[in-house]
């Protein structure tokens, strides 16, 4: 399938989810996750109208970034090793995977401007997933107050790998509640207005539950066999 057709389907699903819940589709940013696909397919993605791109490894990120540069807004969505921060920090627009103080320190040290970050939350409790437990999020955000170059723009999660709609909805709702709590604290360095949640299989539910950024790979660009 062409990216443009996939995008049409995704937009129509977003529209339905928004109609159901009284949201405005313009409030949802679609991040095209290009980690599975080639430069050519990424070119097609940009041509289809997606200008927010996400990569989960620094090597893939640099390959795409070096090719497309300012033709896209760049999201780093995967777990980030501290030693890789220096490679991507002056290229990335938003980091979705801030999950520890040592990483915050490295970002703060290497960045020459304020970097928008999502704090990654492990809502599934699966050990294989990165991110902070829900209970650790607020103390973690408190510990970021002294970093000049970090702004917490929202929370990010990867939902558990299940089909149970109830479980997924509950996961997204919990992240939204946590976001509300942080937002109400009105911290200058942590406005926390956004929710990065929802992937190919669950973005329709995430949008109903308030996602502002969805990260869609396989349903948008395919999974690399195109």
Ligand X SMILES: *Cc1c(COP(=O)(O)O)cnc(C)c1O
Question: What is the contact surface with ligand X in residues (CB under 6 A)?
Answer: 33, 35, 56, 77-78, 158, 199-201, 215-219
Task: Report the residue number, 61 or 68, with the smaller CB distance to ligand X.
Answer: 61
In whole angstroms, how close is the CB of 61 to ligand X at the nearest point? 12
How far apart CA 57 and CA 189 sit, in angstroms, is 26
Strand partners, 154: 118, 194
User: Rounded to the nearest whole angstrom, what is the least distance from the CB of residue 186 to ligand X in the complex?
Assistant: 29
CB of 193 to ligand X, least distance (A): 20
Least Cβ distance, residue 200 to ligand X (angstroms):
3
| Closer residue to ligand X (CB): 49 or 181 | 49
CB of 133 to ligand X, least distance (A): 18
Q: State which residue has the least CB distance to ligand X.
A: 217
């Amino acid at each position: 399938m062409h990216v443009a057709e996939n995008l049409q389907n995704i937009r129509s699903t977003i529209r339905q989810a928004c109609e159901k819940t009284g949201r405005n589709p313009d409030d949802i940013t679609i991040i095209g996750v290009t980690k599975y696909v080639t430069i050519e397919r990424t070119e097609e993605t940009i041509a289809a109208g997606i200008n927010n791109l996400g990569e989960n490894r620094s090597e893939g990120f640099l390959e795409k970034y070096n090719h497309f540069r300012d033709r896209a807004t760049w999201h780093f969505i995967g777990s980030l090793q501290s030693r890789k921060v220096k490679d991507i920090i002056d290229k990335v627009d938003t980091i979705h995977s801030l999950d520890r103080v040592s990483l915050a320190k490295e970002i703060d040290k290497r960045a020459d401007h304020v970097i928008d970050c999502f704090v990654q939350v492990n809502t599934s409790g699966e050990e294989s997933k990165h991110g902070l437990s829900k209970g650790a999020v607020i103390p973690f955000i408190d510990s970021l107050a002294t970093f000049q170059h970090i702004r917490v723009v929202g929370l990010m999660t990867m939902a558990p790998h299940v089909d149970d709609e109830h479980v997924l909805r509950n996961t997204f709702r919990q992240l939204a509640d946590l976001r509300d709590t942080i937002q109400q604290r009105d911290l200058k360095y942590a406005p926390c207005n956004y929710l990065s949640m929802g992937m190919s299989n669950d973005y329709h539910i995430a949008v109903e539950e308030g996602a502002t950024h969805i990260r869609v790979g396989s349903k948008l660009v395919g999974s690399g066999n195109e």
